[in-house]
């Protein structure tokens, strides 16, 4: 079923790319549904999330109960509550468009799934985003029991078990926007992750260089929010016109 859907959409994309197209008719036909081309055509907001102040020490995780996980780390693993990069930026910040998109615009869910992996008794990634209706594949790479619990409030929650390395991932989708859905494992109290569910594709998570980039925004004025699990949220208002890129940095201070 999934494969067939994939080939149909892939074929459609291929056609779209190969056929010299008339922009105006394509737009008209798509009405309020925003296509991949639209997104590629828009403006980009990018920036860095900086961190100031003393770097907090994340608590060490005692994995002695789970030898198979412990063996995956050369030194004692720590929690990932505050991950400050070498360049003084902050990882695991979820940056997204909170408001400002055209009223009534809908964004079809990508057919590519988002994957969450449980490996070494930690979640990978620790912070992630997904679109409403997009598939979340939950994988277990550890040869032991995890339960994966989504403590959703606007969506229905779930709590399912994965007793061993998964042959087939557990599959779930979300119906409503929700920033953020906490994910946790109760077998291993230290395991947590955060999932941002949005009705559009305009979100990013900062990585090892602390940067983010939100592409394809139509002209407009947007509220951009940066969310961090410990330091809360910050917002900025950014106006884009045409395809001119804009830069918006955020700074979180230690407290």
Partner 1 sequence: MIRAVGRFVGWAVSGAVLLTAYPANRLTAQDTTAGKVVYVKWCAGCHGETGAGDGEAARYMLPHPRDFTGAIYQIRSTGSGELPTDADLLRAVDQGLPGTAMPGWKTRLSDRERRDVVSYLKTFSTFFADTSTHPKALDFGRAPSGGSGAEALRVGQQFYDSIGCRKCHGDLSRGDGPSAPTLKDDAGRPIFAADLSENWRFNGGGSAEDIYHRLRTGLDGTPMPSFSDLLEQKFLTEEQLWRVAQYVRSLSPAETPTVRDVIRAPQITGPLPRSPGDSAWGRVDSYWFPLVGQVIRKSRWFAPAVSGVSVQAVHTRDSLALRVVWDDRSQSPDSSWLTHIGRVFAALAADDSASAPPEPGLWPDQLAVQFPLTIPPGMERPYFLMGNATAPVYQWRWSSQGGAVAGVARGLDRFDPAAGGGTVGAQAVYDHGQWRLVLARALATADTAHELQVRTGRAIPVAFFAWDGSNGEHGTRMAVSTWYFLALDEPTPARVFISPVIAMALTLALGMLVVWRAQRPK
Q: Please give the residue ranges that form the binding site for partner 1 (CB under 8 A).
A: 65, 144-145, 147-153, 156-164, 166-168, 170, 186-189
For residue 187, the minimal CB distance to partner 1 (Å) is 5
CB-based contact 181:197 (threshold 8 Å):
yes
Q: Which is nearer to partner 1, 91 or 155 (CB)?
A: 155
Residues 6+ positions from 222 with CB-CB distance below 8 Å? 45, 97, 98, 99, 100, 101, 237, 238, 239, 240
User: Is 56 or 163 the residue whose CB approaches partner 1 more closely?
Assistant: 163
Contact between 238 and 74 (Cβ < 8 Å): no
Q: Which is nearer to partner 1, 182 or 207 (CB)?
A: 182
Two tokens, residue 101: 């998109």
The smaller minimum CB distance to partner 1, of residues 152 and 205, is found at: 152
Of 137 and 251, the one with the shorter C-beta distance to partner 1 is 137
- Residue with Cβ nearer partner 1 (142 or 225): 142
Least Å distance, CB 161 to partner 1, is: 4
Q: Note whether 93 and 81 are within 8 A (CB).
A: no
Shortest Cβ distance from residue 226 to partner 1 (Å)? 26
254 — alpha (psi -120 to 50), left (phi > 0) or beta?
beta
Minimum Å gap between C-beta 176 and partner 1 is 10
Nearest distance in Å: CB 135, partner 1: 14
Least distance to partner 1 from the beta carbon of 162, Å?
A: 8
- How many angstroms separate the CA atoms of 80 and 132, rounded? 26
How many of the other CB atoms lie within 10 Å of CB of 134? 19
Whole-angstrom distance, CA of residue 172 vs CA of residue 28: 33
Query: Can you tell me which residue has the tokens 């980039």?
Result: 213
């Amino acid at each position: 079923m999934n494969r067939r859907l994939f080939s149909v959409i892939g074929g459609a994309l291929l056609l779209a790319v190969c056929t010299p197209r008339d922009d105006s008719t394509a737009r008209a036909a798509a009405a309020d549904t925003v296509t991949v081309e639209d997104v590629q055509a828009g403006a980009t907001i990018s920036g860095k999330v900086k961190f100031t102040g003393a770097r907090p020490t994340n608590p060490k995780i005692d994995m002695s109960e789970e030898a198979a996980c412990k063996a995956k780390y050369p030194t004692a693993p720590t929690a990932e509550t505050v991950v400050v990069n070498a360049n003084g930026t902050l990882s695991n910040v979820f940056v997204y468009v909170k408001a400002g998109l055209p009223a009534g615009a809908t964004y079809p869910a990508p057919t590519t799934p988002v994957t969450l992996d449980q490996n070494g008794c930690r979640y990978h990634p620790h912070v992630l985003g997904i679109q409403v209706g997009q598939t979340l594949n939950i994988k277990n790479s550890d040869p032991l029991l995890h339960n994966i619990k989504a403590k959703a409030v606007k969506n229905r929650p779930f709590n399912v078990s994965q007793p061993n390395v998964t042959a087939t991932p557990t599959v779930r989708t979300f119906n409503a926007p929700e920033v953020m859905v906490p994910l946790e494992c109760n077998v291993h109290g230290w395991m947590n992750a955060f999932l941002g569910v949005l009705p559009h594709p305009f979100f990013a998570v900062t990585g090892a260089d602390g940067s983010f980039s939100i592409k394809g925004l139509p002209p407009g004025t947007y509220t951009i929010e940066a969310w961090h699990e410990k330091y809360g949220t910050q917002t900025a208002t950014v106006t884009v016109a045409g395809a001119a890129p804009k830069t918006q940095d955020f700074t979180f201070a230690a407290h």
